[in-house]
Amino acid sequence: MNDPASGKRVVPGDDAGKAVQYYKKEFWTNENLNYSRPHLRMEKAARIINTLAQGKERTLLDIGCGPATLMRLLPPNIKYYGIDIAIHDPAPNLIESDLLENPIRFDDKRFDIVLAQGFFEYAGEFQSKKLSEIPRLLNPDGTFIASYVNFRHRHKDVYWPYNNVQSFDSFRESLTRNFKVDRFFPSSYNWNHHAPRRKLLRTINLHLDFNIPLIGPMLAVEYFFVCSLHLPKSQESRHPRPHHRGRKPCLPVRASPFPDMRRCAVRRRKAKAPAPDRSLQRLSDRHRASARDSW
């Protein structure tokens, strides 16, 4: 069976039939090599991150980073950090840690963006615990991006090492316990349950960031979830949410110089009515005047 992200085919081991199995460093040292080259989901994650950053300096933590291939796809304004159970090339911005046995953290740092792609399918019963740890990694106005396989696909193919298979609704519900899900959309659409391999289809899917009704549940390979923190109402004004593309920001109301009047800063100007045509009225007045003279 195939991994939906990379499309790699791996022969199951002797323990593949077990209901729940957690894999250690020995397994991931070889498995991570499948992700040494960028695949479609990773390229699309880079696009989402660049859109959120808008060219500004941002910090990013990549949970389950593998060989840190994503770092090569990001511009210099994104300061990249990664954490994984098997780090191939040690570096100051990479930490090796068993993410299921140990809390997810990076030297008590907080980040503008936290990404977990292809991670929760292997989290098993640790999913709720790991989701509860991620808010402590985010800045108050930070963004959490998660990916999860669409197990409702018309040709569902469950990759053999997965130990956390659940429905779209169940995973989204677990996200809402710790985050506000701002958006979700497929990583790609495909007739088969793996990322498209043809160049044209890859290019089209790379720029699709919306849901297609009825088609999505059947053909979406995986989903991206773009989330923000649940903030108390007292803090929402201090940490406004970033506005998504296509939504007009709500501007504040400007005070009027008159104490009893308030006006909205942005409102549509009423179209000026055209001036009435006085020529017909003057013509009718002349007719009435000539009629009086004739009498």
What is the residue range of 214's domain?
Answer: 25-234
Q: Is residue 285 part of a domain?
A: no
Q: State the pTM of this model.
A: 0.75
Total domains present in the chain: 1
Q: What sign has the CA pseudo-torsion 205, 211, 214, 217?
A: positive
Q: Is residue 2 part of a domain?
A: no
Report pLDDT digits (tens) over 224-266. Answer: 999 999 876 655 555 555 554 444 443 333 333 333 334 443 3
174: in domain:
yes
Taking each helix axis from N to C end, the angle separating 199-206 and 40-53, rounded to the nearest 10 degrees, works out to 30
Do the domain assignments include residue 196?
Answer: yes
The answer to whether position 281 is within a domain reads no
User: Over its length of 295 residues, how does the chain's per-residue pLDDT go in tens digits?
Assistant: 346 655 544 334 344 445 589 999 999 999 999 999 999 999 999 999 999 999 999 999 999 999 999 999 999 999 999 999 999 999 999 999 999 999 999 999 999 999 999 999 999 999 999 999 999 999 999 999 999 999 999 999 999 999 999 999 999 999 999 999 999 999 999 999 999 999 999 999 999 999 998 899 999 999 999 999 987 665 555 555 555 444 444 333 333 333 333 444 334 444 445 555 555 555 556 555 554 555 4
Q: Residue 31 is part of a domain; what is its CATH number?
A: 3.40.50.150
